[in-house]
């Protein structure tokens, strides 16, 4: 059989409006729901009644407990407490415990009445959570499908799906941008080659660097993301992310290791592949919906000694 402590310790949902929400100091954001007006009114009335009853129980318990806490009483009562016989103190504690037990029982009755008056609330909240969970799972499945499609679009060593162009900078430096047209739009400069294999572009990079050995190489945003995903890397700001993910994919497609950003020896800086783009796209969903009340998970008790 469930004890009083177990009954009061149940997790409960409370229906709140703007007038009631401030009474609940919870880090849990309210869950916005819609329900028939009659149900909303019934749930709000039950919450308001419960809050007032719990506050009254706390006030009565505090008044009864003050006699056992001299620091909370006027000076003359503190002096009286010090000279009070031990037997009298024991009697006062026994009286307080009797009051406390009575109030504890009244609190349980208040929660029992609340549970009876809020029928349907738990089921509606759980249905909302289930719908949100299913939507999240659907988004995850969609993201996985899109990820697999992006990776497949890169093709293999023999697939002619690549394009590249050369970008001229004002300082005379040249960059080579590489992309898969199915993933990225063309950059400002027109493609020099399109619908070719990665190996063919690698040959063009070699010819370019024969004349300009410090020409940088990078990949367009979505193409870069797909190349990272092919290596299992998703977020360049994650601690496990490796800057060389694109270079590893390029090596798989061309058979050659590429240095993305060659550095002249007189700069004093090391050379090596570097990341070129921000984090991969993420997905999210706002599950909030307008409504007349919000429900949040709270355990039994509203502060005080209960």
- Give tens-digit pLDDT for 103-154: 989 999 999 999 999 999 999 999 998 999 999 999 999 999 999 999 999 9
Has residue 290 got a pLDDT over 60?
A: no
Has residue 285 got a pLDDT over 50?
A: no
Query: 174-179 and 216-219 as β-strands: parallel, antiparallel, unpaired?
Result: parallel
Per residue in 193-242, pLDDT tens? 999 999 999 999 999 999 999 999 999 999 999 999 999 865 555 544 45
Q: Are 4 and 261 in contact (CB under 8 A)?
A: no
pLDDT of residue 258: 93
Best CA proximity match to 130, nearest among 50, 220, 217, 33: 33
Which tops the pLDDT comparison, 178 or 234? 178
Cα–Cα distance measured from residue 215 to residue 271, given in angstroms and rounded to the nearest whole number: 13
Which tops the pLDDT comparison, 297 or 191? 191
* Tokens linked to 255: 């058979």
Has residue 274 got a pLDDT over 80?
A: no
State the pTM of this model: 0.57
Mean pLDDT of 37-43: 92
Read off the pLDDT band of 284 (50, 70, 90): very low
pLDDT of residue 225: 94
Q: What distances in angstroms separate CA 132 from CA 103, 137, 297, one per listed residue? A: 40, 9, 16
Read off the pLDDT band of 293 (50, 70, 90): very low
Torsion angle, alpha carbons of 151, 153, 155, 158, to 10: -160
Segment among 17-21, 86-90, 130-134, 240-244 with least mean pLDDT: 240-244
Percentage of residues of the chain with pLDDT beyond 90: 47
Has residue 185 got a pLDDT over 70?
A: yes
Has residue 36 got a pLDDT over 60?
A: yes
Segment among 40-54, 81-95, 185-199, 285-299 with least mean pLDDT: 285-299
Read off the pLDDT band of 6 (50, 70, 90): confident
pLDDT of residue 81: 57
* Tokens linked to 145: 């499908």
pLDDT of residue 66: 75
* Tokens linked to 148: 């697999």
Q: Are 163 and 196 in contact (CB under 8 A)?
A: yes
pLDDT of residue 234: 57
């Amino acid at each position: 059989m469930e004890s009083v402590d177990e009954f009061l310790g149940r997790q409960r949902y409370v229906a709140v409006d703007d007038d009631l929400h401030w009474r609940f100091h919870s880090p849990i954001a309210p869950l916005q729901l819609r329900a028939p007006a009659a149900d909303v009114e019934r749930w709000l009335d039950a919450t308001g009644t419960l809050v007032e009853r719990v506050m009254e129980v706390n006030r009565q318990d505090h008044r009864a407990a003050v006699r056992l806490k001299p620091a909370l009483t006027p000076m003359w009562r503190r002096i009286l407490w010090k000279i009070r016989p031990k037997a009298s103190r024991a009697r006062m504690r026994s009286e307080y415990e009797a009051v406390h037990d009575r109030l504890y029982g009244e609190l349980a009755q208040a929660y029992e009445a609340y549970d009876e008056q809020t029928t349907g609330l738990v089921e509606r909240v759980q249905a909302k959570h289930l719908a949100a969970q299913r939507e999240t799972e659907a988004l995850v499945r969609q993201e996985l499908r899109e990820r697999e499609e992006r990776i497949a679009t890169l093709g293999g060593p023999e697939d002619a799906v690549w394009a590249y162009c050369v970008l001229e900078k004002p300082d005379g430096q040249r960059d080579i941008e590489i992309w898969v047209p199915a993933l990225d739009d063309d950059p400002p400069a027109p493609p020099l080659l399109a619908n070719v294999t990665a190996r063919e572009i690698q040959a063009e990079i070699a010819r370019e660097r024969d004349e300009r050995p410090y020409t940088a190489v990078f990949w367009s945003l979505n193409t870069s993301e797909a190349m990272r995903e092919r290596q299992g890397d998703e977020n360049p700001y994650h601690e496990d992310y490796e800057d060389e993910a694109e270079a590893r994919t390029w090596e798989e497609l061309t058979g050659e290791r590429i240095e993305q950003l060659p550095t002249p020896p007189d700069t004093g800086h090391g050379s090596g592949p570097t990341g070129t783009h921000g984090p991969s796209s993420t997905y999210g969903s706002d599950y909030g919906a307008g409504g007349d009340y919000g429900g949040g998970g709270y355990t039994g008790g509203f502060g005080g000694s209960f």
